[in-house]
Structure 1
Amino acid sequence: MSVSAPSSDPNLEDFLRHGGRLAAARRAFPDAPAPWLDLSTGINPRPWKGARATAASLTRLPDPDEIAALEAAAAAAFGVTPDRVAAVPGAEAALRALPRLLGARSVAIASPTYGAHAEAWRLAGAKVQCVAPGELAGVASEAVVMVNPNNPDGARHDDLEPGDRWLIVDESFVETAPELSVAARAGHRLIVLRSFGKFYGLAGVRLGFVIAEPGLAARIGAQFGDWPVSAEAIAAGTAAYADSAWREAAAARLTKDAARLDAMLTRAGFDILGGTSLFRLAATPDAARRFTALARGGVLTRPFPDQPTWLRFGLPKPKDWPRLQAALEGSRR
């Protein structure tokens, strides 16, 4: 697939906040071939395909016992007891609720990382300091936030102890590196966030979890009321977390696909900076031009506002590898 030279570069502002802005991409690049190949997020392109909500469950409110069963299934997968787990409508919802719930007036965030953390704390009126991970110990704050493995560079943090301040560890991508999880140690001042939709490829069901000491987990759960998640989230999450065979096979497959993507990006002139097996962070001096060229070919990637040489690539579906390769070759022209 060749990519025609742009007559003018569209404004990239719509794509700097987060991935998945397909409607904005269609507006900005109306001549791009359809369907779009969306690689702007780190969502498994081969989702879990088990039980979904029944028609009957969609016509009534979720039962508390069903939510309890979901939390128990997740707890077993996380290696914790169910009383430490609260289901929430996505890890995003939890990270935005925590600043207000904890009441901390200052936070240090290991950076660069997922921007919603800083945004959530600023909206809560807290003093926000975004610092390199190695500088956290020297920063005075009431709370610390770390994403592990980190988004977007995949950096891994091994020394995670809360000390005398709140430590929030966002493990949204930890299924790609389960040895990093500190969920089993959650308690006292350590809070762990988990995401369902990324690894299981079902981001639209909006399901996540907070793991904390039992009293705090209950308080967090209460913030989202008696029906914190949907029937679809309950059905998918309860069954998927019990499917250890799928989880192991998916992890192995993602590792191979990430290596394949690294090789493809390297041949296309990118430098691989890191990532997880669900996304790869790459660098090139002309990242903005290549983002635009790829988009004109119907391939959406993720640029970054404060790192003009970076692009993040998610994994394509099996049928889309040739299309991605052609688009990458065309973007070099």
Structure 2
Amino acid sequence: MAVTGARGSGKSVYIGVLIYALEQYLRRSGRTIQPYSTGTKAVYEQRYEAPLFRENRVMEGTPTLLSGGAYQRDPMIWRISDAQTSTFLVVRDAAGEDIETSTGDLPQLSYFGRADLVVFLFDSLRLPSMIQILAGLIPAVDDQRLGSSSAEVLPTVLQQLSGGDADLALAFSKFDAFHELPKADTEHYARVMGNPSAHFNRDETMLRPAGPGQVADAQRWFRNDAAFLDQEIRSLFRLIHEESVTLQADQAAQNKQIRGVGHFAVSAVGETPQHSARLTTRGISPFRVLDPILWGMYRRGISI
């Protein structure tokens, strides 16, 4: 899987929390996840685990591939195992600058087209309308360190996906900000986001059926949940007047650039950092971070 998006969309934080959450999820069914190489172990511990879980600080941006410190040049490889089988998870992080400055098909980004799953994180906090609505409810966004918007970056990502074999998970990142909308002075958004029965308002990942004898139940549960969530997130894109994003993804699927597209909502941390030095005040509380990868595996006939 490749994780991509514009600068500041939370790609590295998402990867760091994803591996942690996946370990908790797999434990329920007697599976383990372990780094497959010493390089993977070192990179994850130093670049992801240390700042997120030990130092509680905002992670540094992913270096560009042309820089000397581009640790993401080599993928992280993880082994998911039970008593009988093993599945290998290969994760690639992409610097937002590399995506924004690319023109045409770039050899260093060719792994996008060979991936089984590409997770694109759409940062709604880069939208002026959302920033205005959420003013006073979440800390102000520092626009100085950010580049292109997510909507501007997506066409570049789709251009790299010419092989048609990758599934695209189009996910709202930092979705905890959306959960603040019922407090905003706008009835339009508050009514939608205040619906307690909406799938984007609850995370029941750890309540899903687990274990060898519950595979069929787990697949049925996940299929129904993913279908509802997909339609809800599509509606949210229309609500914030960004329906062109879903149209581009759907057209890519119709043109056989990608294998399929699913829509998701994720929050790796669970709250917007209050200032640049400290990541969270309540502890990391991931929301639906596993949905994209579970969907990607489901699409490949892999049940975990």
Q: Which has the larger radius of gyration?
A: 1
TM-score by length of 2: 0.28
Q: Which has the higher contact order (CA 8 A, sep 6+)?
A: 1
Q: Which has the higher helix share?
A: 2
